[in-house]
Amino acid sequence: MPKRAYGLIRDIVERLGGSMTYEREGHRYGAWVIKVGESNVTIEAGGDGSFPELDRLYVPRVPDPKGWDDYLDELVPDAETKLLSMLGSSSSGRLETISDEEIKEIARIIERTKWKFAWTYARTYPHEYTTRALCRPEDHARLIECIERYGIVERFGRSRRKYFYFQERKYWHMGDPYSEDPEERPDVINRAWVDVRRHAENVKHRWTAEEVELQMRLWEIQLEKATGRSRSDAKR
């Protein structure tokens, strides 16, 4: 058994600077309240005291699991993506988890999309980007939809942005997808590693090893200032 209930899920939440607390008052059977950025979701227990939405993020130990004891203390692949999709969907009044089929579909879209490294921000906030011109129109629209549907709102500097966390990266767009003015709708879609140090792969062919090592530390510091999230949280 784990040292604390849903410990692996709580590790994900805390690494992203959020919180996951159990509340008994105001809930018939108790509930877990998860908060990341400005998004939050309340997951109520069933009559048997179980939390099916959370249990399904773990690997089952039996073919037809009924409760917590029927699961291993091991997360399924893409548990983080599924968990954060619940947070994003809850902000619009619904609670849904991104399906395995959607995960495969989105992974294919991302794989065939052309991404460019934003050298303008190489010394500050490293990331990659794509545009309508660099990918299929339907793929561009689908990524925007995922950001809007499953993204969670977080602070970055003085602004608030919606981030879609997917397979160790976060994705966000620049624009208003609901604007009547086509010029204001998103064209650029950005992505960055959650562990910002991994962008060393983008620059190591141009910079010396010493420069890369120093820059990785600077990236962490700058990201901490922009998001208010400590480096130790981001790396846990």
Sign of the dihedral through C-alpha 138, 143, 144, 150: positive
What stretches of 132-208 show up as alpha helix (H) in DSSP? 137-150, 200-203
| Confidence bin at 235 (pLDDT 50/70/90) | very low
**pLDDT value at 15 more than 50:** yes
Q: Which of 130, 36, 33, 140 has its CA nearest to residue 80?
A: 36
**pLDDT value at 234 more than 50:** no
Domain layout of the chain by residue ranges: 7-78, 100-235
DSSP 17: T
Q: Which of 76, 74, 117 has its CA nearest to residue 207?
A: 117
136 Cβ neighbours under 8 A, 6+ residues apart: 112, 113
Considering only 80-84, 203-207, 218-222, 225-229, which range has the smallest mean pLDDT?
225-229
How is 21-88 classified by DSSP, letter by letter?
A: EEE-TTSSS-EEEEEETTEEEEEE--TTS--HHHHTTEEESSSS--SGGGEEEEEPTTHHHHHHHHHH
| Confidence bin at 94 (pLDDT 50/70/90) | low
What residues pair up with 31 in beta bridges, in sequence order? 23, 44
pLDDT one-digit tens code per residue, 167-201: 889 999 988 888 888 888 899 999 999 899 999 99
Give exposure, 191-228, as e/b (b: 16+ Cβ within 10 Å).
Answer: bbbbebbebbebbeeeeeeeebeebbeebbeebbeebe
pLDDT one-digit tens code per residue, 22-46: 998 888 888 999 988 778 888 888 8
DSSP H/E element including 162: strand 159-166
Maximum separation of any 2 CA atoms in the chain, in Å: 60
pLDDT one-digit tens code per residue, 40-64: 888 888 877 788 889 889 999 898 8
Reported pTM: 0.73
Q: What is the mean pLDDT of the chain?
A: 86
pLDDT computed for residue 1 by the predictor: 44
DSSP H/E element including 185: none
DSSP H/E element including 111: helix 100-112
Token couple for 111: 């794989």
**pLDDT value at 95 more than 80:** no
As a whole number of angstroms, the distance between CA 197 and CA 90 comes to 31
**pLDDT value at 91 more than 80:** no
